[in-house]
Structure 1
């Protein structure tokens, strides 16, 4: 797999480096926000216990039940249901699922990463974060009832198989210059796809993109270390 000619390595290296820094900063802020919420809840844990003790001492069962229902709702928001076996991947996937749901997208992830990969965890998070961001953006043009993202990750032989499928506007997309065109505007647009390609290529992996009417799928194979 080769990069398109108009993205020569010497021409794009500085722009890609700047894009990667911005991407990492964005992902870091998203993950840090999730953990900040978890730390706040843990900090308040003793206060919750003390409140429940007072309610119990007063025999106010109805108030205890109401308080516990409120805590249960908070815990569900903070829960991290994706547990792939890779902590950094879990952090970015859980963060992006929350972001997708905030955009009214039905996002579901089935992920298992039982091996150490040839690429760094940072590069893996960049790949997953980029794929999720592109999938979220594609869904925003659709009615909320049609929005969806499906992610599947598991072993296929000795390699990790990654599949991202998202709903997309009707009509098959066409490649230009070897890449599917991005809908993003402004400086740096399109670098996400190039960055994914470069990471997979440098790792000796495989990448395929497929556009069908109403759906877009990216499939990746990454070798283990």
Structure 2
């Protein structure tokens, strides 16, 4: 995630520099080149929601490169009442954690299952992944295996789910970790 954030800031700064120098054509060319890079990734999921497709395809591509089997079913309208940024943060953190957990186990046991849809006027997100160990956590304190014991990603997910008056359910059993989110759609 840190690498993506670094690249994102670099890309934004590059476009700003072109625009500050009134080099519109160069800025446009740069953006088209970025778009072509995204098209290379955009081959796994077509959910109907552009932002969801972008984050899912990016993370699935990353998982695929790490020999993680991913099964994904996603269907979401283009316009939902959740901001694209918040949706990106929620899914990005959950999928980053799933990928990290899978990296810690044998390649032949690695999997991530993703299901995203609207059910009864709610956004429903389910992510299950293989995991090496059973983590200890409760609703308020998410225990992490990361150095420094920060676990900021899941705390951020919880804050955003709460922002939309949604529900976050985390379940952990030996060998599998599951995240379920429901968020009311207005």
Mark the runs of 5 or more structure 2 residues left unpaired by the alignment: 13-31
Match status 1:209 vs 2:170: yes
Mark the runs of 5 or more structure 1 residues left unpaired by the alignment: 1-18, 41-74
Give the equivalent residue in structure 1 for 2:121. Answer: 158
TM-aligned CA deviation for residue 223 of structure 1: 1.5
TM-aligned CA deviation for residue 203 of structure 1: 0.5
8 Å CA contact retained: 1:38, 1:78: no
Deviates more, 1:101-110 or 1:113-122: 113-122
Give the equivalent residue in structure 2 for 1:60. Answer: none
Higher RCO (C-alpha 8 Å, min separation 6):
1
Matched ranges for 1:1-225 at <5 A: 25=5, 28=8, 36=33, 39=36, 78-114=41-77, 116-170=79-133, 172-175=134-137, 178-186=140-148, 189-225=150-186
1:163 is paired with a residue of what secondary structure?
Answer: strand
TM-aligned CA deviation for residue 86 of structure 1: 1.0
TM-aligned CA deviation for residue 198 of structure 1: 0.4
Return the TM-score normalized by structure 1.
0.65
Any idea what the Cα deviations from partners look like across 1:101-160, whole Å, max 9, x if unmatched?
111111121101126333211100111110110001111110000000010011211101
Give the alignment's Cα RMSD to 1 decimal. Answer: 3.0
CA distance in 1 between counterparts of 2:4 and 2:79 reads: 21
More helix by share: 1
Return the TM-score normalized by structure 2.
0.77
2:57 is paired with a residue of what secondary structure?
Answer: helix
**Paired residues, what number?**
166
